[in-house]
């Protein structure tokens, strides 16, 4: 099975359509699949639903798709760094489903494991629990959350071998593994592709069985909140 493609555009060929549901890795500006997001923007697909911890910033990450009005709905935990996101949400142009951060991660992981739903205490007694099934276990109340099953997963890793086994670097691991797991098709961008067999099996964070398409590219190293002091 061919997994390595020459560009983000090639890797996404035949996968994109209006109205699709995409799970994206990344946390803040760390571990964002920026090349794939750029290719999605250039494709012109619209009415997209994204499950992602956050929406990047105004000119980076999912933020570039908000600028072009290609996103219809966000399923997220945090949206505080994106002014355009705030504007669209407050004006009613963008749907938003807030999820507690751990719940969102587990919804992705559950979907990747074929688990349709799970119970959690997080959100009980808040607006998060509105309209959801409640159930008591050992005298404690829990709410039912659904697993996420996306049409497409897009993630960024540090290194891959030719079969798609992935290694993430430090905090760039974040939401990328669960996001990769929950899509029907998973497309990954990495900084380096190495020959099969050259990665220590004990160092692999996500096995290649989850990865369908793979590209190597150059990536921007952004700092989300730059803090300096006088010399």
Amino acid 78: pLDDT: 87
Q: Of 62, 81, 57, 54, nearest to 174 (Cα)?
A: 54
| Element holding 89 (H helix, E strand) | helix 83-90
- Whether 76 and 70 have beta carbons less than 8 Å apart is answered as no
Q: Computed from CA positions of residues 182, 185, 189, 190, in that sequence, does the dihedral angle turn out positive or negative? A: positive
pTM of the model: 0.92
The first and second tokens of residue 80, run together, are: 């505080």
CA-based end-to-end distance of the chain: 55
Q: Of 112, 210, 198, nearest to 159 (Cα)?
A: 198
The first and second tokens of residue 46, run together, are: 């619209």
| Element holding 216 (H helix, E strand) | strand 213-216
| Spans in the chain with pLDDT lower than 50 | none
The conformation of residue 30, written as its DSSP 8-state character, comes to: B
Spacing of C-alpha 66 from chain mean position: 15
216 C-beta neighbours (distance < 10 Å), count = 17
Amino acid 59: pLDDT: 84
Determine the Cα–Cα distance for residues 66 and 82; give it in Å rounded to an integer. 10
Query: Distance of CA 123 to CAs 1, 76, 164, 182, 231, Å?
Result: 43, 15, 36, 23, 46
- Residue in the block written with tokens 């960024």: 156
Sorted by where each starts, the structural domains of the chain and their CATH numbers stand as 8-216 (3.40.1080.10)
Pairing verdict, β 140-146 and 117-120: antiparallel
Amino acid 28: pLDDT: 85
Enumerate residues 6+ apart whose C-beta is below 8 A from 107.
51, 99, 145, 146, 147, 148, 182
């Amino acid at each position: 099975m061919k997994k390595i493609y020459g560009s983000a555009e090639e890797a996404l060929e035949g996968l994109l359509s209006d109205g699709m549901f995409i799970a994206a890795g990344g946390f803040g500006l760390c571990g964002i699949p920026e090349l794939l997001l750029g290719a999605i923007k250039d494709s012109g697909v619209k009415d997209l639903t994204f499950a992602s911890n956050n929406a990047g910033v105004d000119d980076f990450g999912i933020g570039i798709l908000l600028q072009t009005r290609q996103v219809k709905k966000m399923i997220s935990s945090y949206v505080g760094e994106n002014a355009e996101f705030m504007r669209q949400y407050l004006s009613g142009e963008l749907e938003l489903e807030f999820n507690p951060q751990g719940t969102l991660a587990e919804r992705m992981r559950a979907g990747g494991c074929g688990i349709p739903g799970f119970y959690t205490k997080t959100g009980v007694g808040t607006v998060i629990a509105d309209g959801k099934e409640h159930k008591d276990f050992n005298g404690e109340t829990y709410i039912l959350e659904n697993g996420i099953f996306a049409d497409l997963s897009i993630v960024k890793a540090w290194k891959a071998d030719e079969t798609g086994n992935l290694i993430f670097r430090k905090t760039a691991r974040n939401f990328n593994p669960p996001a990769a797991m929950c899509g029907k098709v998973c497309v990954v961008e990495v900084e380096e592709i190495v020959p099969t067999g050259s990665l220590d099996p004990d160092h692999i964070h996500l096995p290649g069985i989850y990865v369908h398409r793979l590209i190597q590219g150059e990536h921007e190293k952004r700092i989300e909140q730059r803090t300096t002091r006088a010399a």
